[in-house]
Amino acid sequence: MLIIIKVDILAFGAHPDDVEVGAGGLMAVLAQRGLKVAVVDLTGGEMASNGSPEERNREAQRASEHLGLSWRKCLGIPDGNIHINSENILSMVKILRECRPTLILAPYWDDRHPDHINTSRLVQESHFSAGLRKLLPDMEPYRPPQVWYYFLSKAAEPKFIVDISDVYNNKRSAVLAHETQFGNKAGRVETFLNYGPGSLLDLMESRDRYFGSLIGVLHGEGFTTKGPLALRNPLNLLEVFG
Ligand SMILES: [Zn+2]
């Protein structure tokens, strides 16, 4: 049984490859700097056109190694059927209170896939609920200080961009570890993920290069937040001028 240890950063995804695509670089950067990072996949991705649940689980574990994750958990919500209900919120609240991250990551709230939109909303709901003292009173309440949103099929102007150039091979390897989704072996069904120009892989690489170019590096990942980012020590920002 998976032991959920305390982590610094917890990323939520609807499907086992979402975090890799939207925030795999950030996860790898933070893991390499010694922070504890983990992923919760809401579903096992069993509705994907390619790959069995067992294959997808194995691929997710391999991808986790490329990113340096401390642990990864699948919540087992049915793929394509993610609802904003109290059962799902409570199971996410329990995880937040157990692993008490400083930062949580969620998919951006606008996307072509309803599962991504609902996951975004579920993270927002569970983030709030985790701080409510009278909810599950046997667990110490905890509301993570920060929520950042990563981009999947749609993006907005990012509030900030993280330089992921040094870990780009890790990100790419983590994404490609989901071979049933991004590989194009004979016999695979052609999908938005694995086929042709404009595929998700193309989109990811182009966007990472574009966001990188906006801050003068090779590859970058953009993020946004729902409110202003608090900067308690302005000196922390001076690094960008260095
Ligand atoms: Zn997805």
pLDDT tens digits, residue range 104-160? 999 999 999 999 999 999 999 999 999 999 999 999 999 999 999 999 999 999 999
- Look at residue 100 and tell me if it is in a domain: yes
Q: Please give the residue range of the domain that contains residue 23.
A: 9-241
Residue 3 lies in a domain: no
Task: Report how far apart the first and last C-alpha atoms of the chain are (Å, whole number).
Answer: 46
Which range (2-11, 76-85, 165-174) has the least confidence? 2-11
For residue 73, give the DSSP letter: E
Q: How far is the CA of 210 from the centre of ligand 1 (A)?
A: 22
| Cα-to-centroid distance, 113 and ligand 1 (Å) | 7
Q: Ligand 1 centroid vs 176 CA: distance in angstroms?
A: 15
User: Measured in angstroms, how far is the CA atom of residue 142 from the centroid of ligand 1?
Assistant: 27
- Residue of 2 and 59 predicted with greater confidence: 59
* Beta strand 220-224 pairing with 146-150: antiparallel
For the stretch 123-131, contacts whose Cβ atoms lie closer than 8 Å and that sit 24 or more positions apart, written own/partner, are 123/12, 123/92, 123/147, 124/226, 125/84, 125/89, 126/88, 126/89, 126/92, 126/93, 126/96, 127/96, 129/89, 129/90, 129/93, 130/92, 130/93, 130/96, 130/97
Q: Do 207 and 157 contact (CB within 8 A), yes or no?
A: no
How many A from CA of 122 to the centre of ligand 1? 15
Q: Residue 45 domain-assigned?
A: yes
- Return the sign of the alpha-carbon dihedral for residues 56, 90, 143, 98: negative
**Cα distances (angstroms) measured from residue 52 to each of 49, 78, 93, 115:** 9, 14, 29, 19
C-alpha 21 to ligand 1 mean position (Å): 9
- Please give the Cα distance from 219 to 114 (Å, whole number): 28
Per the domain annotation, does 146 fall within a domain?
Answer: yes
231 CA from centroid of ligand 1 (Å): 32
Measured in Å, residue 119 CA sits from the centre of ligand 1 at: 10
Residue 88: give its domain's CATH number.
Answer: 3.40.50.10320
Q: 2 lies in a domain?
A: no
**Residue 85 in domain:** yes
**Distance between Cα 17 and ligand 1 center (Å):** 6
Q: Decide the pairing of beta strands 146-150 and 37-41.
A: unpaired
| pLDDT range class, residue 229, cuts 50, 70, 90 | confident
Q: Which of 13, 204, 230 is nearest to 108 (CA)?
A: 13
| Token couple for 187 | 């016999």
Distance (angstroms) between ligand 1 centre and the Cα of 219 equals 22
**Domains contained in the chain, number:** 1
CA 156 / ligand 1 centre spacing (Å): 18
Ligand 1: centre distance to CA 212 (Å): 23
Residue 95 forms part of a structural domain: yes
Q: Would you say residue 147 lies in a domain?
A: yes
**pLDDT over threshold 80, residue 16:** yes
* Structure confidence at residue 10 (pLDDT): 98
The C-alpha atoms of residue 183 and residue 179 are separated, in whole angstroms, by 5
Residue 41 Cα to ligand 1 middle (Å): 10
Going from the Cα of 238 to the center of ligand 1, the distance in angstroms, rounded, reads: 35
pLDDT tens figures, 25-65: 999 999 999 999 999 999 999 988 888 889 999 999 999 99
What distance in angstroms lies between residue 15's CA and the mean position of ligand 1's atoms? Answer: 5
